[in-house]
Amino acid sequence: MRPNTSLTVPVPVPVPVPVTAEARLTPGNSPCGSPTKRAKSTADSDIDKWAYWEYPPHFWDNLSKVSLSPRALKEVDRRARNSRSQLPASTAGEVSSNIARFARQGGPDLSDLRGYPYPATMNSRESPQSKGNELAIPETEPTPTSTTTKQQKSKPCSGNFRQHLTDHKVEPLQFSEKPRNTDEILSTLAQRRLSLSLSNFSDGSFEGFYQTSIRVMNEDDVMAKVLPTIFGSSVAGDLDARNILFGNLEPLTDGSLVSAKPDIYHGSSPGSLSLTIRNEIGHHIVPSTKDDRPIVPNFFVEVKGPRGNELVVERQACYDGSIGARAMHSLQTYGQESPQYDGQARCFSATFFAGQLQMFAHHATAPVDGDGDRPTYHMTYLGGYCMKNSRATFIEGASAFRNLRDLAKQQRDVLIQAANDTIGGRSSPPIPDANQNDEKSADGVADNEESPHLKTFDEPFREGDDSVNSTKRKRQPPSPDSDVATESPPSKIRRC
């Protein structure tokens, strides 16, 4: 039967609807509408991209060992669905005469199955069982999820994240080598600070910190209410930024990991480094796509709320610190034909979780045979402090934190100056010593008047500080009873 080609279906012509002035000014149509319906900013988009990150298929295919995790099961389910969708559709064909005759005679003998219990029905949400690493089924892109379904934000720092870093020469604590300048770093951490003396941080100040720390409910509370007391005042020129996606950097591994987004990082002003250098090695030292964000990041802080996970925050610090170690090494070896590795740490990180402050050093070592040009990144534990235990413990931990932050700035300043000198005509700059202090910095111990009872690593000068105009005098040896805990009656000891 021939199709009737003479029939035509009239196409309706759209009738223009007049738009009233009131309709044009609705929040959805106006570019300056309600803030709740306004288009997302670039920063919001970056945060969503980071929070809802899904690992691409090759992330799972290249893992040397896959750990059982919700993300791994989700990937198995996705590949199982794709595998079923790729099965050829069954087509009805002619029934064989043998099959027809077999069916007429009653089919197979199933008497041995009488009384056998029915198998448990597999829930549609359960994953099919797999043997070994069967994640590499079809290499298809993840199915986009519906935008109408509310997803739960999760930071991608699982055991598989840790395994991926290890596979790409980013070593965890237990397998890392210590930097050559470990003793010098620990000596710097032990320096005392005038800002944490009895007159500036009394038992009452500690009690206020303790009460605040036990009342925080989430990570945002910790960032806003607890950390400022630990941080104190920073050095002039030491810039920091929070929750910035490192979207301008070259991937540290193979590109399958989400870009780093540290809670806090410290760096230098973009104007402090030559534009030529920023253009040449910006993929290692300029973390953000925004021009006004700090560059050469080498000090990171990762925080978790009371319900956080200590392993996750440590993995985040390891990821951040390796990126910072790469940035410092790229700046240190700028202008060299063959990059050198001196084994010294110039990048540092700190984590804060459940009242526990921990600090780490990060450095890179030369590639080993068979790894191409990929260096190995190491993470070294420097110390931990229970900040809500007692006033003495708080002072020790806060002093170490501020000293480490100041040391990171000194290292940045030295390398930035050396790189700028290279642009100015120096052909091959020497590798700056990791323990060299910036003589112009207000952080040097010899630049401030110190208390006879404190061995200080002083805070930066602030306006109105009487010590700014004080005359330098010879350092006095520390008193035998100079320990801070003996300056006042010990406060109550609390356990983390």
Query: Can you tell me whether residue 7 is helix, strand or coil?
Result: coil
Each residue of 326-343: pLDDT tens digit? 999 999 999 888 889 999
> Kind of pairing, strands 347-353 and 295-303?
parallel
Is residue 276 in some structural domain?
yes
Determine the pLDDT at residue 401: 98
User: Which residues is 96 bridged to in the sheet?
Assistant: none
* 467 φψ region: left (φ > 0), alpha (ψ -120 to 50), beta (else): alpha
Each residue of 247-295: pLDDT tens digit? 999 999 988 888 999 999 999 999 999 999 999 999 999 999 998 999 9
pLDDT beyond 80 at 22: no
User: Which residues is 301 bridged to in the sheet?
Assistant: 264, 350
Query: pLDDT-based confidence at 115, cuts 50/70/90?
Result: confident
Which of 36-40, 149-153, 162-166, 306-310 comes out lowest in average pLDDT?
149-153
Higher-confidence residue: 95 or 63?
63
The per-residue pLDDT of the chain, averaged, comes to: 74
Query: Can you tell me whether residue 102 is helix, strand or coil?
Result: helix
pLDDT beyond 80 at 489: no
Is residue 43 in some structural domain?
no
DSSP state of 444: -
pLDDT above 70 covers a percentage of the chain that reads: 64
Is residue 30 in some structural domain?
no
Which of 49-58, 133-142, 170-179, 338-347 comes out lowest in average pLDDT?
133-142
Long-range pairs of 269-276 with CB within 8 A, sequence gap ≥ 24:
269/237, 269/239, 269/294, 269/295, 270/294, 270/295, 272/237, 272/416, 273/416, 273/419, 273/420, 274/419, 274/420, 274/423, 276/423
Higher-confidence residue: 17 or 486?
17
Per the structure, the complete domain to which residue 287 belongs is given by 170-486
The average pLDDT across 69-91 equals 74
> What span, in angstroms and rounded, lies between the C-alpha atoms of 243 and 223?
11
The average pLDDT across 414-434 equals 70
User: Could you tell me the strand order of the sheet in which 356-365 lies?
Assistant: 239-242, 264-268, 295-303, 347-353, 356-365, 376-386
Q: Does pTM top 0.75 for this prediction?
A: no
Determine the pLDDT at residue 438: 42
Which segment, 57-66, 114-123, 376-385, 421-430, is predicted with the most confidence on average?
A: 376-385
Determine the pLDDT at residue 337: 86
Task: Count CB-CB contacts under 10 A for residue 325.
Answer: 28
User: Which residues is 299 bridged to in the sheet?
Assistant: 266, 348
pLDDT beyond 60 at 426: no
Determine the pLDDT at residue 493: 55
pLDDT beyond 70 at 208: yes
Q: Counting Cβ atoms within 10 Å, is residue 474 exposed (0-12), middle (13-18) or buried (19+)?
A: exposed
Is residue 474 in some structural domain?
yes
Count of domains in the chain? Answer: 1
Query: pLDDT-based confidence at 157, cuts 50/70/90?
Result: confident
Which segment, 359-363, 432-436, 467-471, is predicted with the most confidence on average?
A: 359-363
Q: Which value, in Å, is the radius of gyration of the alpha carbons in the chain?
A: 31
Is residue 270 in some structural domain?
yes
Determine the pLDDT at residue 373: 80
Higher-confidence residue: 15 or 301?
301
Determine the pLDDT at residue 139: 38
Is residue 45 in some structural domain?
no
Determine the pLDDT at residue 188: 96
> What span, in angstroms and rounded, lies between the C-alpha atoms of 227 and 230?
5
Determine the pLDDT at residue 462: 36
Higher-confidence residue: 97 or 394?
394
Determine the pLDDT at residue 56: 79
pLDDT beyond 60 at 197: yes
User: Which residues is 359 bridged to in the sheet?
Assistant: 350, 383
Is residue 226 in some structural domain?
yes
pLDDT beyond 90 at 58: no
pLDDT beyond 60 at 203: yes
pLDDT beyond 70 at 182: yes
Is residue 142 in some structural domain?
no
Query: pLDDT-based confidence at 321, cuts 50/70/90?
Result: very high
Determine the pLDDT at residue 37: 42
Which of 31-40, 82-91, 158-167, 202-211 comes out lowest in average pLDDT?
31-40
**Neighbouring residues of 261: CB distance < 8 A, sequence distance ≥ 6:** 46, 47, 50, 243, 244, 245, 246
